[in-house]
Amino acid sequence: MKFLVNRKLATRIGIVTTAITCTGMLLLWFVVSSRVASMVQNNITNQMIDAVESRASIINEYVTSAEEYMTAFALGSEVQDLLHNPDDPNLL
C-alpha cells in the first residue's frame, strides 16, 4: 500500500475499487463455473445411466427369448427321440 500514499485520492479509490471488483468477478466466475460443471456432469451421468438401462433391457429380452426358443427346441419330440436312440441314422 506504500505506492498508494503519493497518489491522489481519486486514483487510490479507483485502484482499490478495480482490485475489489476484479477479485469479486474472479470469485463469482469460479463459483458459477464449478456449479455449471457439476450440473452438466450430473445430467450426462443420468443420460448414460438411462441409455445403459435401456440397452440392458433389450439384451435381457433377447436372452430370454433365445432361452425360451432353446427350451422349446430341446423339448421337441425329434430331439427326445434322438436322445433315446442316438445311433439311429434315420433320426439323425
Spacing of C-alpha 78 from chain mean position: 48
Over residues 54-81, mean pLDDT: 91
Question: What confidence score (pLDDT) does residue 21 get?
Answer: 97
Over residues 60-88, mean pLDDT: 88
Rounded CA-CA distance 40/19 in Å is 31
State pLDDT tens for residues 2-15: 655 666 888 888 89
Question: What confidence score (pLDDT) does residue 6 get?
Answer: 64
Which whole-number Å values give the CA distances from 82 to 28, 72, 73, in the listed order?
78, 15, 13
pTM over cut 0.75: no
Question: What confidence score (pLDDT) does residue 4 get?
Answer: 58
